[in-house]
Amino acid sequence: MQFGAAALFVQRVMAAKPQFVLTNENARTIAEICIRLDGLPLALELAAARTKLLSLEEMLARMDHRLTLLKGGAKDLPARHQTMRATIAWSYDLLGDDGKMLCHRHSVFFGGSTLGAAEAVCRAIDSVEIGVLDALESLVDESLVLKKEMADGTYRFVMLETIREYALEHLEASGEGEALRRRHAHFFLELAEEAEPHLMSAGREPWLVRLDAEHNNLRAVLRWAADNGETETGLRLVGALRWFWYYRGHIGEGFQWAENLLAMPAASARRRALCTKRWSH
């Protein structure tokens, strides 16, 4: 209860459900709900109102579809505050064309991006080009993207998950999803392969830190490769990340990705061919 988000959520739950009692058993679920809702006050209030019908565990299970869950605010509130979707849409509608386009394009990142990554992945898709720097500034101004200063003085741009869910809907509607995910995959594969030789040298630490920051994006590429039959991309990324996983204690995760990708048909055929080549020598 010393954390503002949890305190607000519990207070609102008690208002909706007077018999509710905070316990050691439900505290962890409450913390998970607050995290999944990014600590946003309106989201917490709308979720708390749902406890009239849902248990905390049932609510947590629905967090993959937050925007469907987060509605039903007080009737005397402005319309844009009665659902989370309407609140985000209100800010989204204030953006210019480039800002709207970057909003849905940036949702392809997991855990945010650097400016360079946003420009490389999002600037131009199918000859539709946007000014990423100015568009990103507008997203920050409308609080649709958070700007976080890193230890080296650069900035990282992070979209809260509740907002990202909204932006992903626009990404799918735009028809750019497949191209964006492929470009995202190629960008982070190139980053990992650029980092690989440095990870085997005394100057590895800055590269390890950089890969740490992009770990969720790298996982997303591996997941995309596995789900879409992009075996070559997945296996190249597994190979490039092996020293990162070793030095950061993720060997088990790396082994699992390698197993999953090598089990794919194209990978199995390649492995048999390589065995034949070794046997012939």
Scanning the structure block, which residue is given the tokens 């609140």?
A: 87
Q: Does residue 276 register a pLDDT over 80?
A: no
Q: Does residue 213 register a pLDDT over 70?
A: yes
Q: pLDDT confidence of 223, banded at 50, 70, 90?
A: very high
pLDDT per position as a tens digit, 35-91: 999 888 888 988 998 898 899 999 999 988 888 888 765 555 555 556 888 889 988
Q: Residue 64 in contact with residue 29, Cβ under 8 Å? A: no
Q: Does residue 160 register a pLDDT over 60?
A: yes
pLDDT per position as a tens digit, 10-23: 999 999 899 999 99
pLDDT at 78: 56
pLDDT per position as a tens digit, 179-210: 999 999 999 999 999 999 999 999 999 999 99
Give the distance, in angstroms, between the CA of residue 230 and the centroid of all CA atoms in the same chain: 20
- Take residue 156 and report the two structure tokens written for it: 């990282």
pLDDT per position as a tens digit, 93-145: 999 999 999 999 999 999 999 999 999 999 998 888 999 999 999 999 998 99
Q: Does residue 27 register a pLDDT over 90?
A: yes
126-130 long-range contacts (CB < 8 A, ≥24 apart) are 126/176, 126/179, 128/101, 130/98, 130/101, 130/102, 130/105
- Take residue 170 and report the two structure tokens written for it: 């626009």
- Report the sign of the C-alpha dihedral through residues 56, 31, 211, 102, in that order: positive
* pTM given for the model: 0.81
Mean pLDDT of 201-225: 96
pLDDT at 127: 81
pLDDT at 76: 52
Q: Does residue 270 register a pLDDT over 80?
A: no
